Amino acid sequence: MALRLGDVAPDFTAETTEGTIHFHEWLGDSWGVLFSHPADFTPVCTTELGTVARYKPEFEKRNVKVIALSVDPLGSHNEWVKDINETQKTNVNYPMIADEDQHVAKLYDMIHPNASDTLTVRSVFIIGADKKIKLILTYPASTGRNFDEILRVIDSLQLTANYSVATPANWQHGQDVVISPSIKDEDIPAKFPKGHQKVKPYLRTTPQPNLD
């Protein structure tokens, strides 16, 4: 059965480019991004892994650990990292899972027979500190991921986990947010002291509450 939002992310033990990890233990109290690749030494994946290496400080600011997966063996990963570092002018600074037996790929339903019987699609799983899956994205092998969007989603997920708000279309960090319909009008001033705007009875906005 395919994983769904709110499910506990399956735990696993795997060999990676940074040694053996036990996934839940490795995550600790951090959030996580697990993202898969169709194969080593492929062009789009090379650009993606380089991008994530450059963005790692942004993930760390958000208490997020990143980990990649491909169904190729560890030796292949280690050789590919050299190419990524060279061509993307960076240093891969996070683990890559060597999922040669497809154990993790199958746990996370990353292999789609209509696309390929053996290769993973470009899956993204954002996992909260509670080990539950907060977001699932699936891209075809031909389309590289937008990691700015993944960071934007993490900002929204972490904000809405702590405040009774939602983020509107195209929201960016620092912009106004939507007050949850479950909050009564008379309770808004105490919960959102920065003020609010009532556009419609069901559409009320307020400045992002976790900013000074």
Annotated catalytic residues are 45
Distance in angstroms (rounded) separating the CA atoms of residues 88 and 54:
9
Ramachandran angles phi, psi of 198, nearest 5°: -100, 100
DSSP summary character for residue 167: -
Distance in angstroms (rounded) separating the CA atoms of residues 33 and 117:
24
* Strand ranges in 96-148 using DSSP code E only, listed in sequence order: 96-98, 122-127, 133-139
- Which residue type occupies 98? A
Helices (H) and strands (E) in the chain, counts: 6, 11
User: Among 162, 184, 176, 168, which residue's Cα sits nearest to residue 205?
Assistant: 176
Q: What is the dihedral of CA 184, 188, 190, 196, to 10 degrees?
A: 180
Distance in angstroms (rounded) separating the CA atoms of residues 35 and 151:
13
